[in-house]
Chains A and B, each alone.
Chain A
Amino acid sequence: MPTARSTEAGGILLTPQVSRKGMSLSQDAWRRLRKNRVAMISLVAIVSICILAFLTPLLPLQAPDHAQTALQYEEPTISPFWLPTKPLDMELVSQTPQVVAHLETELTDLKLRYELAKQSGENLDNARRQLRRKEAEIQDTIQAPYRQLGYPSLGMLSRAMVRARFALFGNQCINSLCGRDLLGRDLLSRLFWGARISLLVGLVATIVSLVIGVNYGAISGYCGGWIDDAMMRFVDVLYSVPFIFVVIFLLTILGEDSIADELAYWGINRITVFFLVVGAIYWLTMSRVVRGQVISLKHELFVEAARSLAASQSRIIFLHLLPNLLSVVLVYLTLTIPRVMLFEAFLSFLGLGVEPPDVSWGLLANEGIKVITPVKIYWWLILFPSLALGATLLALNFLGDGVRDALDPRLRDA
């Protein structure tokens, strides 16, 4: 009791506010979460997996796509720990900017011609094809030194990290601790590179679903009446559609060569399509939860106060109601990420998700199961991807349960 303590220690009487300081919901939740040992271990595990995945290009691993057919299906080995690797062609790297600059000037030229062709309507296809070919050439030039070594297409940051890796560790890399696959590629490094994609998909797709679900639910709940009815009826209809089948159908259609080309031109590759599609189906439950919450909140006094101060509808929804949904949203978020990752693994496993040369854990598990023959099994190709995926999903699930218990004790055991 703060008052009792302050009377005891007479000196503090003058500043009772200090001892009466309350605990906010988030502080309380954090305190409760910290007491949950399983959830904390999971949290630490997830954070370290994320950091490792982010730093993958910097680690002294072999290149994930470096095929060495002579070493096909080599078993996991630990000695020697270090292997020599091919060096990064620094000369080629240093030349790249010049070549690219030269190509860029050609590109601006082609762009101009394309604009002209657009106006006149002549030779449009031809101009467009040339433009795209040139863009592809620029990308190829930039990627060439890395691709030689067996890296997939890298972004700017990853390229810098690969250069730093060669500067730091030289031409040494860790031996295949997890064995090698059909093409003699190192499974350990493929696991690390796969983690990047698997985690990214989980995160981004969840955020997409979050944005759609929260807005949809909030608007539906706040408006009420026939708008609410119609919007929720729509969700009901979507609920009864077996989504995975529709998504697979959608992905095959979007994967049609000509459409894929068109999308690629707009910078939308398969993974982006994937984010959007997966995000677009996981918002249903979110919208229902948020709607329920908004309905119970919208008759509260603070909303009344905002309305009497002539706040607009959208201001009330987005500034006054949404922040109050934070705990519900957070709980749901941590539980959705593993589900989305599971879904990605599932689709990649079927060969409909991430495409080579990109790797993800689902794809790796699929590769392992595909090479099962009646006489021989390459157990490491199944075990390690399964372990990586399983451990991450398990940790995420535990963390999700922990966050739920911490934020909303009423939901415990549900």
Chain B
Amino acid sequence: MTSFMVRRLLWMAITLLVVYTVSFFLMRSVPGGPFDRERVLEPEIMKNIEKRYNLDKPLYQQYLIELGKVVRGDLGYSYKINDYTVNEVIAEGLPISVALGSLALIFATTLGLVAGVTSAVLRGTWGDVLLMLIATLGIALPNFVIAGICIILFVFLLPLFPAAGWGDFNQLVLPAFCLGAPYAAYIARIARTSMLDILSQDHIRTARAKGVGPLRLILVHALRGALLPVVSFLGPAVAGILTGSLVVEQIFAIPGLGSHFVQAALQKDYTLAMGLVLLYTLLLYVMNWLVDLSYALLDPRVELE
């Protein structure tokens, strides 16, 4: 267990270092600094700016200085958002993205599990076919298409939700649904397959023979085993929800990290972009790690190594 933790931590550090190094040198290899504006600045001002961002030192020194800062958790100043450090941007955006992402994840797992289990129980009926057709649709359609259709339906035809913005719960429902929908579809397919697998096993037959009711049979005896593949999919799902939030936050004008990242990329705000890439890598790693841990909790046969 301890060695598993330590090894994971080590690999995470290596991955982060690789991501950091590659993006640092890519960033610095771009000709022209981040301060090439239309208006030419005074040389003194330029010098001050360069000093602030340590651009006046040789490259390897810059690398080490910046690396030291990053290790201490200081991601530097944003190039384009004045008077903001990357940490402050993250502090503002992260809670919003986390709220949106967790709600999407809850949507995805509940909808997906219910649909998957139902269609496994109803195997071969038209309900099963219909649910799986919807699931395939959910996988095939990009989330901005789903978002566009949802906006046409629920904002303009049936005015149930506001079109965009951030603040109250109503504004959160539509984006979270659009974000979670593809993953709900994946989870439904996975849950169906594993449920079918479990339902044909001996212990289910034994339980049925002992007179366990159908509801208890499915929810208690079968579901626990069927959850395993779903849990292992949660790692990629979290990654996908992080990615999807780029688009969904853009569409619904939500001031989370995703829209900051897209803006940073479009406006060539390299420090912010790099900080966010590092943050996302970290998040992804932690999530995968949690998934592995919960795997061991759900299935006593799994040993962490």
Contact = CB atoms under 8 A, between A and B. Distances in A.
Contact of B23 (A246, A351, A362, A401): A246
Contacts of B266: 252, 351-352
Contact of B11 (A237, A248, A338, A365): A237
A368 B149 CA distance: 11
B30 interface: yes
Contacts of B152: 377, 379, 382-383
B295 interface: no
Interface stretch (B53-61, B134-142, B220-228): B134-142
Nearest to B251: A369
A377 B156 contact: yes
B247 A350 contact: yes
Nearest to A398: B136
Nearest to A387: B145
A311 B45 CA distance: 68
A252 B268 contact: yes
A394 B133 CA distance: 10
A47 interface: no
A244 B143 CA distance: 15
Contact of B242 (A242, A258, A345, A413): A242
Given A368-B148, A369-B251, A246 B140 contact: no
Contact of A237 (B18, B26, B31, B239): B18
Instruction: Report, as a range, how many residues of chain B touch the other chain.
Output: 35 or more
Given A350-B262, A393-B141, A394-B137, A240 B285 contact: yes
Interface in B221-265: 239, 242-243, 246-247, 250-251, 261-262, 265
Nearest to A412: B193
B231 to A, nearest CB: 17
B229 to A, nearest CB: 10
A160 interface: no
Interface stretch (B73-81, B106-114, B275-283): B275-283
A256 interface: yes
Interface in A371-385: 372, 374, 377, 379, 382-383
A319 interface: no
B242 to A, nearest CB: 7
A397 B136 CA distance: 8
Contacts, number: 144
A249 B142 contact: no
Interface in B134-172: 136-137, 139-142, 144-145, 147-149, 151-152, 155-156, 163
Interface string B199-221: 00000000000000000000000
A410 B197 CA distance: 13
Contacts of B105: none
The winner among A246, A251, A389 for most chain B CB atoms within 10 A is A246
B193 A245 contact: no
Given A237-B15, A345-B142, A365-B145, A256 B27 contact: no
Given A350-B250, A362-B142, A389-B141, 7 more contacts: A252-B273, A256-B32, A338-B140, A351-B262, A393-B140, A396-B140, A398-B136
Interface of B: 11-12, 14-15, 18-19, 22-23, 26-27, 29-32, 136-137, 139-142, 144-145, 147-149, 151-152, 155-156, 163, 193, 196, 239, 242-243, 246-247, 250-251, 261-262, 265-266, 268, 273-274, 276-277, 280-281, 283-285, 288
15 contacts: A241-B281, A242-B280, A245-B261, A245-B276, A245-B280, A249-B273, A253-B26, A346-B144, A350-B265, A365-B144, A379-B156, A382-B151, A386-B145, A394-B140, A414-B193
